Chain A
Amino acid sequence: MLEVIKPGVQLCIQDLGRHGHRHLGVSQSGALDPLAVKIANTLLNNALDTAVLEITVGLTQLRFTTATNFALAGGDLNAHLDDTPLTPGWRYFSEPGQILTFASSADALRAYVSVEGGFDLQSVMGSCATDLQAGFGGINGSALAAGDLLHYASSPERSSVGALQPGYHKQMRILSGPHCTQLGSSAAHLLCAQPWQVLPESNRMGVRLTGPDLFTHQLSINSQAVLPGTIQLPPIGSPIVLLNDCQTTGGYPIVAQVIKADLRHFAQLSAGDQISFIQTTPAQAHQETQQQNYHINQLRIALAHHDRSIS
């Protein structure tokens, strides 16, 4: 079992998200950094969408009561297993009773932990992801608290192995959105012409931004579908980049969409961070997603080779 000693700021169970229910008002949920989930699960030979722990900020303490291999991915929150420092993108083994801690970091916000074989969880509407707003999924639909126990099957020790993770950036690539013309402007002018600062009111629903020159307006649109990555521009001119827990429809003008491959970078943004936007094309966006898939495939092949050669 994994015992939560201290959850820290926010500790929750996430996977690659709950899909196919947006027409019923059900959010996607899921890890804000899906590539990190895939890396952690690949390191353990788990199915890619196996549920993991998402650690936000850190200040977290967890105890493995039974032996397991586990993998760490995402941001570097200065994790330790007892006194040994750990590196994201690596697989480790824990003896029964060892304690995994996360400090915190000025440069990263979210880390992910997967265990070999996954945690024993009940899937709700096709996913184990915690829907924190609606209160279902994960364990009892809420973030984990001190004393919570997560079951997993014990696994025999494997050698420690890992690889460099693709880096995190603060320049986000976007595709132009549908309502720029109605605002008499362009995505390039509205978003790419200045740097933006992340506001403290940011969370898993969305990242709110402010900048030196805000474009205020009076335009409201008929509520239509929004998706993670959709950039809304409310009348006060402060853009919102919607993330996994966002509502399914919205009535603010949509000025752009962050490409799928770049959404993971938002998982690591803290209040006060500076980001910028640059326009790209759908073709480039597909290519970037492909690139991430290649990365996972290469990792899988390298690991298969490694695990075979040492056994």
Chain B
Amino acid sequence: MTQEQTYLLSEQAVVLDLNCARLDNVQQNRLFALHRHLQKQAEYIDIVVGKTSLTLVLKNPAQCTRWQDQLLQLWDELSAEDFHPATHSIPVIYGKEAGPDLAPLAAQLGLSQQDIIELHSSPTYQVKFLGFLPGFAYLGCVPEQLQVARLDSPRTVVPAGSVAIAEDLSAIYPSASPGGWRLLGNTTTQLFTPHSQPPCLLQPGDNVKFVPQKEGLC
């Protein structure tokens, strides 16, 4: 049982904080249902879903107090069934140069590389939220057997398209950047193209399925 609350962050943002360590699937989808609902209803500048919260940045700061009550009411009213996510298939070339951490990780976990590919590509992931870089989606959840810490020392450059894991999350680097996640493979799917409409392939709450390609290990 969570004790959700709302509070102001700055003079023009309202936060719905679900005050719990993590969300179950039902709560998670209710939160995404709330996000989609607000995108249609509210006079907002931004709506940002966090791990266990939603922040609504309003155009008119005078509306903040009203939305503090309104968010709690909507959270009560909306249900997980109100949310209908899109599903994306992401082709992945696993291993070798495309996934330099796959072989060392297999050795560390006492599994074959194929086992790891099987484990990583079997779940349907959900975009929990985006951050770090434009289009960088935090995907949950990685199967427990595959949950490992970040690298002790992050790489200075992770190539764009790298498919990676860290703890219970997976992600795809939309552009080259420094990064400490373990790289299992690479995809040619474009995740973030600022000049296109929409600029970002993955939206909060969307489902993602990794599909091993025969050009790599599978």
Contacts and interface: CB of A to CB of B under 8 A. Distances in A.
A19 interface: yes
Contacts of B21: 222
A212 interface: no
Contact of B135 (A22, A24, A285): A24
Given A125-B194, A136-B194, A175-B10, A225 B132 contact: no
A178 B22 CA distance: 18
A137 B22 CA distance: 36
B129 A249 contact: yes
A224 B55 contact: yes
B78 to A, nearest CB: 17
B46 A224 contact: no
Interface string B38-65: 0000000111111111010100011010
A175 B204 contact: no
Contacts of B133: 25, 133-134
A241 B52 CA distance: 23
The residue in B7, B15, B50, B133 that gathers the most chain A C-beta atoms within 10 A of its C-beta is B50
The residue in A248, A259, A285 that gathers the most chain B C-beta atoms within 10 A of its C-beta is A248
Given A20-B46, A25-B136, A260-B10, A225 B55 contact: yes
B17 interface: yes
A227 interface: yes
B206 to A, nearest CB: 11
- The interface size bin for chain A is 35 or more
Contact of B46 (A22, A135, A229, A260): A22
A257 B130 contact: no
A264 to B, nearest CB: 15
Interface string A219-254: 000111101011000000000000000011100001
B150 to A, nearest CB: 13
B135 A25 contact: yes
A225 B51 CA distance: 9
Contact of A229 (B10, B52, B53, B199): B10
A247 B129 CA distance: 13
B187 interface: no
B57 A227 contact: yes
A257 B10 CA distance: 5
B180 interface: no
A178 B175 contact: no
B62 A286 contact: yes
B88 to A, nearest CB: 14
Interface string B62-77: 1010000000000000
Nearest to B64: A282
Contacts of B204: 23
Interface in A93-144: 124-125, 131, 133-137
B134 A230 contact: no
Contact of B13 (A26, A124, A133, A227): A227
A305 B108 CA distance: 76
Contacts of B134: 21, 24-27, 131, 134
Interface in B126-166: 129-137
A223 B57 contact: no
A177 interface: yes
B129 to A, nearest CB: 6
B130 A25 contact: yes
Contacts of A160: none
B48 A178 contact: no
B135 A222 contact: no
Nearest to B12: A260
Nearest to B22: A222
A282 B55 contact: no
A260 B45 CA distance: 14
Interface string A26-67: 110000000000000000000000000000000000000000
Contacts of B131: 25, 223, 247-249
A297 interface: no
B11 A285 contact: yes
Nearest to B39: A23
A136 B7 CA distance: 34
A136 B175 CA distance: 12
Interface of A: 19-27, 124-125, 131, 133-137, 175, 177-178, 222-225, 227, 229-230, 247-249, 254, 257, 259-260, 282, 285-286, 289
30 contacts: A20-B45, A21-B199, A22-B46, A24-B200, A25-B137, A25-B200, A26-B199, A124-B195, A125-B194, A134-B134, A136-B195, A177-B9, A178-B15, A222-B51, A222-B53, A223-B51, A223-B129, A224-B52, A225-B55, A227-B9, A247-B132, A248-B48, A248-B130, A259-B11, A260-B10, A282-B8, A282-B11, A282-B61, A285-B11, A286-B62
Given A25-B133, A26-B200, A137-B194, 5 more contacts: A23-B48, A25-B132, A125-B194, A224-B15, A248-B131
